[in-house]
Amino acid sequence: MARKILLVDDEAGFTQLLKMNLEKSGDFEVTIENDSTRAVSTARSFLPDIVLLDVVMPGMDGGDVQAQFQSSPELRNVPVIMLTALVDSAELSDGAVAQSGSSIVLPKPVDLDLLLRVIDEATAVI
């Protein structure tokens, strides 16, 4: 059965190409949400196996989205991979990423092979 991935990122071009790559590389069903304020409602209806979440977004940042996932019973256990183009290590350790409690953070530009491995590991645990 295809694993379901939710991409939450305000960069429409990025999500479009990542979706194409993921769908070409494995048996994935990918849904895109470019508006972070709708991430939780989209996730509730899509029920993803894993979420790839951007950090710096207008509306709600990745940390806020992650916190909403945590407080939602049906999403609490969905693994989240944070993708970030942040370059400042202090921002990574002090900012939304650290607050989110997400254990998996991958830098942008994304190494696709690494991302696929991380998705495999994270979804295998479930």
Partner 1 sequence: MEPLTLVESVLDNLPVAVFAKDANDDFRFVLWNKKQEEITTVKASRALGRDDYALFSEESADYFRSVDKAVLKAGRLLKVPEEIIEGKNGQDIHLRTVKIPVIEEETGRRLVVGISEDITEQVRSRAQLESLNKNLVDANKELQETQLQLIQAEKLESIGRLAAGVAHEVKNPLALLLLGVDYLSNGIDPDDPNVDTILAQMRSAVDRADRIVRGLVDFSSQRSLSREPVQLYTVIDEVLLLVKHELTRSNTSVEVSIPRDLPHVFLDLSKFEQVVINLVINAVHAMSESERPCLEIRARSESLRDVVKNQGARRYEVFRSGDHVVILELVDNGCGIDNNDATRLFDPFFTTKATGVGTGLGLSVARKIVQLHGGELHVGDREDAKGAIAKLILPTKVDTGKVGLSSKTAK
Report if residue 109 touches partner 1, rule: CB under 8 A.
yes
Q: Which residue has the tokens 């194409």?
A: 20
Q: Could you give the angle at the alpha carbon of 67 between the alpha carbons of 95 and 106, nearest 5°?
A: 55
Q: Which is nearer to partner 1, 2 or 47 (CB)?
A: 2
Q: Which stretch binds partner 1 (CB under 8 A): 26-34, 41-49, 73-81, 109-117?
A: 109-117
Question: 39-46 and 62-70 helices cross at what angle (nearest 10)?
Answer: 50
Report if residue 73 touches partner 1, rule: CB under 8 A.
no
Report if residue 114 touches partner 1, rule: CB under 8 A.
no
Q: Is the peptide bond before 109 cis (omega within 30 degrees of 0)?
A: yes
DSSP 9: -
What's the closest the beta carbon of residue 125 comes to partner 1, in angstroms? 25
Residues that bind partner 1 (CB under 8 A): 10-11, 13-14, 16-18, 20-21, 24, 56-61, 85-88, 91, 108-110, 112
